[in-house]
């Protein structure tokens, strides 16, 4: 462990006093760091938060061959993490060794590093954890009569004492980071930490379906996962039956590299890549190139900003990968990453070509938004077929391209990522048929689907580009609407083009915020409370955030198992459908719990509600609606940006117009 690491770690305890930092002329003494400092540095790398402890302890339990593992947490793991297993156990002589640093039973020499088959091998997890917590280890091997127990507080251990316990191991971690106050201070609310812990648990429980796992938090059972033979059942238990129903199995092999798993049909997607699980030889990994491969496989099938869902298992000889490149082994290095990339992309594409997505890509009733409801069903169906045909064509075309070039990267992706201002400028300057064609496709495709990217539209479908008939603009005395999505008006400064969705979203955000803060959110009571089925961690999140939900106008009660009862909801979200709305809010709560830079969950939820309730691009507005929107624009400060930070309006100053028309 490099000593310079100490500088960037917030370990508090060992920072030198101001005096000792003064340079002493002519002498710069190099000292061997005491073992306890080395351990704390190691702890800083491996143990970032309670979830890291959960991961390390679960991996140890699996390495010990356990078939049942129980996890119990208190206050997001900050107060308590207890993992009990029925694995091989440790003999009393081995127990102090297990807690010593660089002590492991899993590798013997450096060569072993290149074919690691166990989760652990560095032998530093327990030592690191013991350094920054109150640790209790109790263990019994299967052939011994009695268990033994040892306690370590901040690295100092008590003598072994005999005690009674079932065969296996129990590790209890209390007061994590008690002696590294800086790190402790950085820990977030219990809700955030439990989110991370439950994610760490999920990653491991997902791929060990033959092991019985349970997870409890503050005495509430979040997951109870009995062993199952079929991987689908474990996915369903963790992610919900709804998701499981849309899984598409994939399997393929390329010599000694095997790929097996599931992807989701495109009607299910997420707003982030959290639901992309890749397991390499049973170990969860994050790999950018594989995430990219997954995204490429769905190109043209998902809306911009939506991410596919996937559960992929890769098996390959251990010597094809180096797992020793990342302290928590989350990232690995493949010997031949191009081969793995092509295997993943090719397998999913082939599967999609052979799968009748037409039947599956249908409107999710909950996701239905006002604009699609207005279209006639036959036309909608035709649009959908067109799109699926187009997507298949595009898939075929780009598979061919992939094979021909052997290059996985489709040129030009970056253009899609351009910020909206740039794209708008571009379109303003050469408003042409591509733009019109995009509008029609956009509008035909429900929220759950995806409009093709402009580039793909050019490449694949320009042949049958048919400009859409443009409706006459809707006009109010304050301005008018063009292309059913922008409002054009004027101010003293010049001409203003407004994104109708972004502006409405901004106005609603301010209104909802005022209502929620004043406790005056209008709610609609359901005559009969509606049972809503959610994945177990979302049930727990909903119930733990009852008060927050009530503030937003949603009343939930436990209904047992994976179901909660919803008895009221915010009136302004009526068009979403109560169940779908609750799902989206809870999804946001869970996601918010996972990204550390999210400051204010309530604020995020307000943003989401405003976005969902606002008129959409594509909604034709009546003249009085245009008037109302433009009038309200003046009442709200900061209407230049929608809550997402996108601009709501572009101003073309008189000077700029004059300049462009060469009047100056």
Contact footprint for ligand ADP (CB under 6 A): 56, 60-61, 64, 85, 87-90, 98, 103-106, 120-127, 169
Secondary structure, 3-state, 458-499: HHHHHHHCCCCCCCCCEEECCEEEECCCEEEEECCCEEEEEE
Supply φ then ψ for residue 457, to 5 degrees. -60, -40
CB of 279 to Mg ion, least distance (A): 18
CB of 216 to ligand ADP, least distance (A): 18
CB of 102 to Mg ion, least distance (A): 12
Query: Which CB, 105 or 458, lies closer to ligand ADP?
Result: 105
Contact partner, 282, from Mg ion, ligand ADP, none, Cβ < 5-8 Å per class: none
Contact partner, 105, from ligand ADP, Mg ion, none, Cβ < 5-8 Å per class: ligand ADP
Residue 60 contacts Mg ion per CB under 5 A: yes
Q: In this structure, are residues 202 and 538 in contact, taking their beta carbons and an 8 Å threshold? A: no
CB of 56 to ligand ADP, least distance (A): 6
Contact partner, 15, from Mg ion, ligand ADP, none, Cβ < 5-8 Å per class: none
Contact partner, 52, from Mg ion, ligand ADP, none, Cβ < 5-8 Å per class: none
Query: Which CB, 56 or 193, lies closer to ligand ADP?
Result: 56
Contact partner, 6, from Mg ion, ligand ADP, none, Cβ < 5-8 Å per class: none
Contact partner, 549, from Mg ion, ligand ADP, none, Cβ < 5-8 Å per class: none
Residue 83 contacts Mg ion per CB under 5 A: no
Residue 269 contacts Mg ion per CB under 5 A: no
C-alpha to C-alpha distance for 473 and 623, rounded to whole angstroms? 10
Query: Which CB, 122 or 299, lies closer to ligand ADP?
Result: 122
For 24, what's the count of Cα atoms within 13 Å in the CB-facing half-sphere? 6
CB of 60 to ligand ADP, least distance (A): 3
CB of 98 to ligand ADP, least distance (A): 3
Query: Which CB, 121 or 262, lies closer to Mg ion?
Result: 121
Q: Would strands 276-280 and 283-285 be described as parallel, antiparallel, or unpaired?
A: antiparallel
Q: Residue 605: in which H helix or E strand, if any? A: helix 601-613
Q: Give how far the C-alpha of residue 4 lies from the chain's centroid of Cα atoms, to the nearest Å.
A: 33
Query: Which CB, 73 or 171, lies closer to ligand ADP?
Result: 171
Cα distances (Å, whole numbers) of residue 472 to 420, 468, 487, 560, 618 = 25, 12, 13, 54, 14
Query: Which CB, 89 or 570, lies closer to ligand ADP?
Result: 89
Bridge partners for 172 per DSSP: 82, 136
**Binder to Mg ion among 11, 47, 61, 125 (CB under 5 A)?**
125
CB of 105 to ligand ADP, least distance (A): 3
Residue 66 contacts Mg ion per CB under 5 A: no
Contact partner, 591, from Mg ion, ligand ADP, none, Cβ < 5-8 Å per class: none
Query: Which CB, 81 or 549, lies closer to Mg ion?
Result: 81
Of 240, 280, 274, 244, the closest CA to residue 262 belongs to 244
Q: Which residues of 457-473 are buried (b: 16+ CB within 10 A; e: fewer)?
A: bebbbeeeeeeeeeeeb
Residue 87 contacts Mg ion per CB under 5 A: no
C-alpha to C-alpha distance for 113 and 206, rounded to whole angstroms? 26
Q: Please measure the distance between the N-terminal and C-terminal CA atoms of the chain and give it in whole angstroms.
A: 67
Contact partner, 592, from ligand ADP, Mg ion, none, Cβ < 5-8 Å per class: none
Residue 120 contacts Mg ion per CB under 5 A: yes
C-alpha to C-alpha distance for 529 and 532, rounded to whole angstroms? 9
CB of 163 to Mg ion, least distance (A): 23
C-alpha to C-alpha distance for 424 and 499, rounded to whole angstroms? 11
Please identify the residue of the shown chain whose CB is closest to the bound ligand ADP.
Answer: 120
Contact partner, 41, from ligand ADP, Mg ion, none, Cβ < 5-8 Å per class: none
CB of 315 to Mg ion, least distance (A): 22
Residue 76 contacts Mg ion per CB under 5 A: no
C-alpha to C-alpha distance for 138 and 92, rounded to whole angstroms? 9
Please identify the residue of the shown chain whose CB is closest to the bound Mg ion.
Answer: 120
CB of 65 to ligand ADP, least distance (A): 8
CB of 62 to ligand ADP, least distance (A): 9
Query: Which CB, 157 or 474, lies closer to ligand ADP?
Result: 157
Query: Which CB, 9 or 129, lies closer to Mg ion?
Result: 129
CB of 103 to ligand ADP, least distance (A): 6
Contact partner, 61, from Mg ion, ligand ADP, none, Cβ < 5-8 Å per class: ligand ADP
Strand ranges (E), 335-482: 474-476, 479-482
DSSP reduced 3-state for 226: coil
C-alpha to C-alpha distance for 298 and 288, rounded to whole angstroms? 16
Query: Which CB, 11 or 69, lies closer to ligand ADP?
Result: 69
Q: In this structure, are residues 442 and 382 in contact, taking their beta carbons and an 8 Å threshold? A: no
Q: Concatenated DSSP letters for 501-560?
A: HHHHHHHHHHHHHHHHHTT---EEEEEEEEEEE--HHHHHHHHHTHHHHHHTT-EEEE-S
C-alpha to C-alpha distance for 212 and 204, rounded to whole angstroms? 12
Binding site for Mg ion (CB under 5 A): 60, 120, 125
């Amino acid at each position: 462990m490099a000593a310079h690491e100490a500088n960037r770690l917030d370990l508090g305890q060992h920072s030198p006093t101001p005096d000792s930092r003064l340079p002493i002329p002519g002498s710069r003494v190099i000292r061997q760091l005491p073992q306890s400092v080395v351990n704390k540095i190691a702890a800083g790398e491996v143990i970032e938060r309670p979830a890291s402890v959960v991961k390390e302890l679960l991996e140890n339990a699996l390495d010990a061959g356990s078939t049942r593992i129980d996890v119990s947490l208190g206050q997001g793991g900050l107060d308590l993490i207890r993992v009990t297993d029925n694995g091989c156990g440790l003999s009393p002589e081995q127990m102090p060794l297990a807690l010593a640093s660089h002590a492991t039973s899993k590798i013997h020499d450096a060569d072993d590093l290149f074919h690691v088959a166990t989760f652990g091998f560095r032998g530093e997890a327990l030592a690191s954890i013991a350094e920054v917590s109150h640790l209790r280890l109790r263990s019994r091997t299967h052939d011994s009569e009695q268990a033994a127990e040892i306690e370590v507080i901040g690295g100092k251990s008590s003598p072994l004492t005999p005690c009674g316990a079932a065969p296996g191991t129990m590790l209890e971690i209390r007061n994590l980071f008690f002696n590294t106050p800086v790190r402790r201070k950085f820990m977030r609310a219990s809700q955030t930490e439990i989110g991370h812990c439950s994610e760490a648990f999920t990653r491991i429980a997902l791929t060990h379906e033959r092991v019985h796992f349970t997870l409890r938090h503050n005495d509430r059972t979040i997951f109870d996962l009995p062993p199952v033979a079929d991987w689908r059942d474990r996915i369903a238990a963790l992610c919900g039956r709804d998701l499981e129903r849309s899984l598409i199995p994939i399997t393929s092999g390329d010599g000694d590299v095997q790929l097996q798993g599931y992807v989701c049909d495109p009607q299910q997607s997420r707003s982030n890549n959290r639901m992309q699980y890749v397991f390499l030889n049973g170990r969860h990994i994050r790999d950018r190139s594989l995430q990219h491969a997954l995204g490429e496989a769905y190109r043209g099938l998902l809306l911009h900003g939506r991410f596919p869902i996937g559960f992929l298992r890769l098996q390959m000889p251990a010597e094809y990968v180096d797992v020793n490149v990342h302290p928590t082994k989350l990232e690995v290095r493949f010997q031949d990453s191009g081969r793995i990339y092509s295997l993943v992309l090719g397998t999913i594409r082939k599967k999609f070509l052979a799968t009748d997505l037409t039947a599956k890509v249908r409107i999710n009733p909950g996701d239905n938004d006002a604009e699609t409801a207005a279209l006639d069903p036959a036309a909608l169906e035709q649009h959908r077929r067109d799109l699926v045909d187009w997507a298949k064509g595009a898939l075929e075309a780009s598979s061919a391209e992939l094979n021909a070039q052997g290059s996985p990267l489709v040129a030009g992706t970056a253009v899609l990522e351009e910020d909206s201002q740039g794209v708008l400028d571009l379109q303003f300057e050469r408003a042409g048929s591509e733009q019109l064609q995009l509008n029609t496709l956009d509008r035909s495709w429900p929220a759950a689907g995806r409009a093709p990217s402009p580039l793909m539209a050019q490449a694949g479908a320009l042949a049958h580009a048919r400009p859409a008939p443009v409706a006459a603009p809707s006009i109010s005395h304050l301005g008018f609407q063009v292309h059913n999505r922008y409002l054009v008006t004027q101010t003293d400064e010049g001409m203003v083009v407004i994104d109708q969705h972004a502006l409405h979203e901004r106005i609603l955000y301010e209104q909802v915020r005022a209502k929620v803060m004043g406790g005056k959110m209008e709610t609609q009571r359901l005559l009969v409370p509606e049972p809503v089925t959610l994945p177990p961690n979302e049930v727990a999140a909903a119930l733990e955030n009852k008060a927050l939900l009530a503030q937003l106008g949603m009343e939930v009660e436990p209904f047992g198992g994976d179901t909660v009862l919803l008895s009221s909801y915010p009136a302004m979200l009526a068009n979403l459908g109560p169940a779908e709305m609750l799902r989206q809010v809870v999804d946001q709560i869970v996601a918010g719990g996972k990204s550390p830079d999210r400051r204010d969950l309530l604020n995020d939820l307000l943003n989401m509600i405003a976005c969902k309730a606002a008129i959409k691009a594509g909604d034709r507005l009546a003249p009085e609606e245009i008037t109302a929107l433009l009038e309200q624009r003046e009442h709200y400060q900061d209407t230049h940006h929608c809550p997402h930070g996108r601009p709501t309006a572009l101003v073309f100053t008189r000077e700029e117009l004059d300049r462009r028309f060469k009047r100056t």
